[in-house]
Amino acid sequence: MKDLPYAEPYKTKMVEYMRPSTIEERKQWIKEADYNLFNLSSDKVFIDLLTDSGTGAMSDKQWAEMMVGDESYAGSQSYLKLRDTVRRITGFQYFLPTHQGRAAENVLFSVLVNDGDIVPGNSHFDTTKGHIEFRKASVVDCTIDEAFNTTVFHPFKGNVNIEKLENSLKLNAGKVPFVIVTITCNSAGGQPVSMENIRAVSEVCKRRHIPLLIDAARFAENAYFIKMREEGYRNKSIKEIVKEFFSYTDGMTMSAKKDGLVNMGGFIALNNEEVYKKASVFSIMFEGFKTYGGLNGRDMGALAVGLDEATEFDYLHSRIGQVAYLGELLVKYGVPVQQPFGGHAIFLDANKFVLTIPRDEYRAQALAIELYIVGGIRSVEIGTILADRDPFTHKNRYPELELVRLAIPRRTYSLNHMRYVASVIRKIYDSRSQAKRGYRIIDEAPIMRHFTVKLEKIKT
């Protein structure tokens, strides 16, 4: 078997029809959606790479668990299954379910974050940054510099720069409620964090008596990269690697819609009983009783199974291999992408792809719109629109990278779909010199504007 090509460790049991459409139809639909891909209804999308969050396919064992879900309001058996699974996989003793990852952040940050606080981390995810800034606190990005050069090959571009972190903690002494490390680092291109780096961050935090939290949405994918790229871990199982890196930390939030392999769900896991008790109060206020946290019993049961499936090597090898397959095709065509490839998505480098469009005309968004018009493919901008305005100056924040993320849903699309996506991008790339103008914002929310922003096309 080792000499044969690798095949997906699953087979298809059900299919879902996807409606093809014409370029003319898509031009009209995206205009009616105010050039915001989030505003498109799903029947107007051919291949949906907007997000890998809650968009994957569940296994037969997960569906079977749905049928025996215990819907008791308090103390359901499904909750106990999930609690015990989380304890076994992560090692954390205290557990609160929530309906998704941003809900976990809302509950936990209600306890930990106060006006004027500073939270260092590695390229905070948009909702993480949003929940911190909503509480009149600030984030400090301590990601290594290599993350912002898409052509540099570094095996762990999600790493925290320890010197940047130390300087931030010294400068903001007494104002740092915790440090947060996102694994894998979505905003830097789905890039992993090494075990060595997690350990080093932990040592810095312990010296200063500051808690270390993990945004663990894609923790299993991060463990796969540690196994494949970091010395000393090739013979470790994914579950062993997971248990080790969580042991260096004080708690985690998770959007289980990623590496939990479910369509809805999230949770908080901690070792600090006092923080758990305080968070339980906010959980009851915002999410529901602490043994269901906004989830059905059947959802908790499916998540318990999903966490076990996601931390198996064969699944991860297939999943990350599919992402790499798309990336390799694009590199072959000369398309600029973040390298090495991340765990859940391929990120197009819009700064190199469409230099002809000014940054203040949102070149990454313009590229994402063109991808939809030409091929019916929905992606998402990870650039200036997502970066929001500075909460104090109200000016656009221009991140070092302007990216378009092609997030691959888990166990959903075939390699033929990846070939189609690559061919559409190649077509756009070959005609990129024709792109002259982008878009202007005509309406935006004061925070996390990318979800609801309205734009109009700038005419040449």
Q: Which residues are catalytic?
A: 73, 125-126, 215, 217, 258, 450
Buried b (16+ CB within 10 A) or exposed e, 243-279: bbbbebbbbbbbbbbbbbbbbbbbbbbbbbeebbebb
Angle, helices 313-332/297-310, rounded to nearest 10 degrees? 70
Measure Cα distances from 58 to 7, 69, 127, 178, 381 in Å.
18, 15, 25, 34, 27
Count of CA atoms in the C-beta half-sphere (13 A) of 126: 16
∠ CA 6-411-99, rounded to 5°: 145
CA-based end-to-end distance of the chain: 57
Segment (H or E) for 411: none
Closest alpha carbon to 201 in 254, 233, 158: 158
CA 151, 154, 158, 160 torsion-angle sign: negative
Enumerate the H helices of 10-100 as residue ranges: 23-32, 60-67, 77-90
For the beta carbon of residue 140, count every other beta carbon within 10 angstroms: 18
Find out whether 289 and 73 touch, Cβ atoms under 8 Å: yes
SS3 410: coil
Distance CA 90, CA 436 (A): 50
C-alpha 257 chain-centroid distance: 10
Tell me the C-alpha distance between 372 and 197, whole Å.
38
Q: At what angle do helices 415-430 and 363-375 cross, to 10 degrees?
A: 120
Q: Are 192 and 158 in contact (CB under 8 A)?
A: yes
124, amino acid identity: H
Phi, psi of 178 (to 5 degrees): -170, 165
Beta bridge partners of 346: 406
Whether the link from the prior residue into 184 is cis, omega within 30° of 0, is yes
CA atoms within 13 A on the CB side of 344: 35
